[in-house]
């Protein structure tokens, strides 16, 4: 199963990596707290992982409109 990278704001798929090329501990041993893991790494029903991150377009929007940081989901 691949690891999917998806924008948490606009839900655009940014990319994916084959899971067999990554050690499962890779997802947990980097400097990320258990709370951040729960918020940003989603385990799917079939064993796949989705990492919630941010795409370039949304990052640019957040830089232009920093008040969007206060909103959990600002794209409707």
0.85 exceeded by the pTM? no
Question: Residue 42: what pLDDT?
Answer: 87
Q: Pick 7 or 18 by higher pLDDT.
A: 7
**pLDDT above 90: residue 6:** yes
Confidence of residue 46 (pLDDT cuts 50, 70, 90): confident
Find out whether 32 and 40 touch, Cβ atoms under 8 Å: yes
Question: Residue 68: what pLDDT?
Answer: 81
3-state secondary structure of 24: coil
Confidence of residue 7 (pLDDT cuts 50, 70, 90): very high
């Amino acid at each position: 199963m691949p690891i999917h990278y998806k924008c948490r704001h606009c839900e655009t798929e940014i990319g994916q990596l084959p899971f067999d090329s990554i050690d499962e501990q890779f997802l947990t041993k980097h400097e990320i707290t258990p709370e951040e893991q729960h918020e940003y790494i989603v385990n799917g029903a079939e064993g796949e992982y989705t990492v919630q991150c941010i795409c370039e377009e949304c990052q640019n929007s957040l830089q232009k409109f920093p008040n969007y940081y206060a909103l959990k989901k600002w794209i409707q």
